[in-house]
């Protein structure tokens, strides 16, 4: 094949960053994190394709996917907890860490 998927990895990563930086709803932040994770997975697999070691790359990608799932689970539990406290999911109102 004569394709290069690396720019797409960067685009996906950039999209994920953009989402994280601009969206205020917590669910949207989750989306942003997910996009970052998928970009990373793609990068790992792509590097495996380039180096002709697909097995190794796939096992690393599996690790990342597993961790991504954990992060999502925790994030959702966090969202649940926030919602129980105050029915608000806006990051502008979550400012308890202000110095």
Partner 1 sequence: MTYLTMAFLILFAVLAILLPSTLMSVLSLAAVSALLSIVFFQLGAPVAGVFELSVGAGLITVLAVLTISFIQARKVKKQIRTELWIVASFAAAALFFFIFNTLSPWVSPSSVPPVNWGAVGEVLWHLRAFDLLPQALVILSAVLGILVLLRPEKGKTP
Partner 2 sequence: MSGELAGWLMLLLPYAGAALVPLLNFLSSRIVPYFAVLVGLASSVVAFFVLGAPNTASVSLNWLPGVLKTGLSLDALSVVPALIATWIGFLVLIYSLGYMKGEENLSRYFSLTLLFIGSMVGMSMADNFLALFFFWEVMGVCSYALIGFFYKDPKAAAAGVKAFLTTKIGDVGLITAILVLYANTGTFAIGQNLEMAASLGAPILGMVSFGFIMGAVGKSAQLPLHVWLPDAMEAPTTISALIHAATMVNAGVYLLARVYPLLTQAPWSLMLVQWIGALTALLGSLLATFNFDLKRILAYSTVSQLGYMVMAVGLGAVFASQFHLFSHAIFKALLFLGAGAVIHAIGTRDIRRMGGLKKVMPVVGATFFVGALALMGFPMLNGFFSKDLILESALVDAAWGPLIVAGLAALLTAFYALRTTAAVFWGKARYKGHPHRTPWVMSSPLVLLALATFVSWLLIGPITAAWNAANLAAPELTIPELLLETFTAPAFFITLGVIFGGLLLFVYRKPIGKSVRERMPRLLRATSAGLGFDAVYGGFSRLVYAAGGFVLGIWDEKVMEGINRLTGWCSLRLGEGSRALQTGDIHWNLLYIVLTLIILLGIVLW
Q: Rule CB under 8 A: is residue 94 a binding residue for partner 1?
A: no
Among 35, 18, 95, residue whose Cα is nearest residue 71? 35
Q: Rule CB under 8 A: is residue 86 a binding residue for partner 1?
A: no
Answer with the entry of partner 1, partner 2, none that 96 interacts with (C-beta below 5 to 8 A by kind): partner 2
How far apart are alpha carbons 91 and 25 in whole angstroms?
6
* Interface residue list for partner 1 (CB under 8 A): 1-8, 10-15, 17-19, 21-25, 27-28, 30-32, 34-35, 38, 41-42, 45-46, 48-50, 52, 54-63, 65-74, 76-81, 83-84, 89-90
């Amino acid at each position: 094949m004569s394709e290069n998927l690396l720019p797409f990895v960067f685009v996906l990563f950039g999209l994920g960053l953009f989402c994280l930086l601009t969206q205020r709803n917590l669910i949207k932040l989750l989306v942003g994190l997910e996009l970052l994770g998928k970009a990373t997975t793609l990068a790992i697999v792509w590097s495996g394709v380039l180096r002709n070691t697909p097995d190794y790359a796939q096992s690393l990608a599996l690790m990342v996917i597993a961790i991504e799932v954990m992060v999502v689970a925790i994030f959702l539990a966090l969202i649940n907890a926030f919602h129980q406290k105050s029915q608000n999911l806006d990051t502008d109102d979550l400012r308890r860490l202000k110095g």
